[in-house]
């Protein structure tokens, strides 16, 4: 049956109603509305684990409090992030800042002045260095072999009493939301660790085992990707690993991606969920949508729409010899 598009009326309304209206329009506005509807459907599932992959410089761009809010309200249950986002979160949580800058600037002068640029956002190198050395101390004080999840928890415990701002890592520690960082060395956390005189070992293969078991033991899974890169693939590949380990894994049941990358160049950040079906990473029966838009536009709109939402039930995790999952 053919359904007509419904033009958006300009009127006083909340973001929930606006996003619902956008789902009856066209192009990427419609896709954003569909992403919202899929997220709401996930929240209404009785037993589901919702995983978020976080790539790109989202924290310097001002998205930190949104991600922390999603964690505290259990609109996501697991976070897989680049190390950069976690480092910048620690930086801001301890009272340091990113600054409004400009992309049209003399970068050689910025270098001489100790200013680092992320497109139109500036940061002070000397402030980053303070965090580098703090992380170095944490690695020096730690002995043994840890997953990235465990070492991030140690960092969160260390800064918990010192934070001046809402923090992603501290929120996750307090709400029992595990954070995995499979490319932890590729960040300023890795730089800080390299400065340690004596350091622990971060076993990212342990991350593969833990996250795969977590996904395999979840009755249903939903994924939300902000950008793509390592976080997206790390979550996607759990379905492949699970099958190799003998689990009946048929792909993630729900999938949302916010990206500006295109599929025709072959990169994972832009590849479609339909392509993921061929790998068994996404269920062929799954509900899925990709929104091709800047995440700094889409994420605030989606989060404000979720202000009217409530989570029916969410998982609790216990990590030990194996991963145990129970629902509240």
Residue 266, sorted as left (phi over 0), alpha (psi -120 to 50) or beta, turns out to be left
Catalytic residue among 31, 232, 281, 288: 281
Does residue 24 have an active-site annotation?
no
User: How far apart are the C-alpha atoms of 200 and 137, rounded to whole Å?
Assistant: 11
Parallel, antiparallel or unpaired: strands 252-259 and 282-292:
parallel
Report, as residue numbers or ranges, the catalytic residues.
Answer: 281
């Amino acid at each position: 049956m053919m359904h007509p598009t419904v033009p958006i009326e300009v009127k006083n309304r909340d973001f929930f109603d606006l996003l619902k209206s956008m789902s009856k329009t066209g192009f990427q506005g419609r896709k954003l509305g569909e992403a919202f509807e899929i997220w709401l459907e996930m929240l209404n599932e009785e037993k589901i684990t919702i995983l978020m992959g976080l790539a790109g410089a989202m924290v310097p761009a001002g998205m930190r409090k949104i991600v922390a809010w999603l964690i505290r309200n259990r609109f996501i249950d697991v976070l897989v992030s680049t190390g950069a986002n976690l480092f910048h979160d620690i930086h801001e949580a301890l009272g340091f800042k990113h600054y409004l800058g400009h992309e049209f600037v003399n970068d050689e002068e910025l270098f001489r002045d100790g200013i680092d640029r992320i497109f139109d956002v500036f940061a002070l190198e000397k402030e980053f260095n303070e965090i580098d050395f703090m992380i170095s101390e944490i690695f020096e004080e730690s002995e043994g072999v840890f997953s990235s999840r465990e070492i991030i928890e140690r960092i969160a415990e260390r800064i918990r009493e010192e934070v001046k701002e809402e923090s992603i890592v501290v929120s996750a520690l307090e709400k029992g939301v595990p954070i995995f960082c499979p490319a932890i060395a590729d960040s300023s956390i890795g730089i800080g660790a390299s400065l340690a005189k004596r350091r622990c070992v971060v076993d990212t293969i342990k991350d593969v085992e833990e996250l795969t078991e977590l996904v395999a033991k979840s009755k249903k899974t939903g994924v939300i990707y902000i950008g793509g890169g390592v976080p997206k693939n790390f979550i996607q590949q759990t379905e492949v690993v699970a099958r190799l380990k003998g689990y009946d894994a048929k792909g993630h049941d729900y999938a949302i991606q916010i990206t500006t990358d295109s599929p025709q160049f072959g990169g994972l950040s832009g590849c479609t969920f339909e392509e993921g079906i061929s790998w068994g990473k996404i269920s062929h029966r799954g509900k899925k949508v990709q929104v091709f838009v800047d995440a700094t536009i889409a994420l605030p709109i989606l989060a404000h729409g979720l202000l009217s939402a409530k989570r029916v039930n969410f998982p609790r995790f216990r990590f030990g010899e194996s991963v145990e999952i129970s629902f509240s």
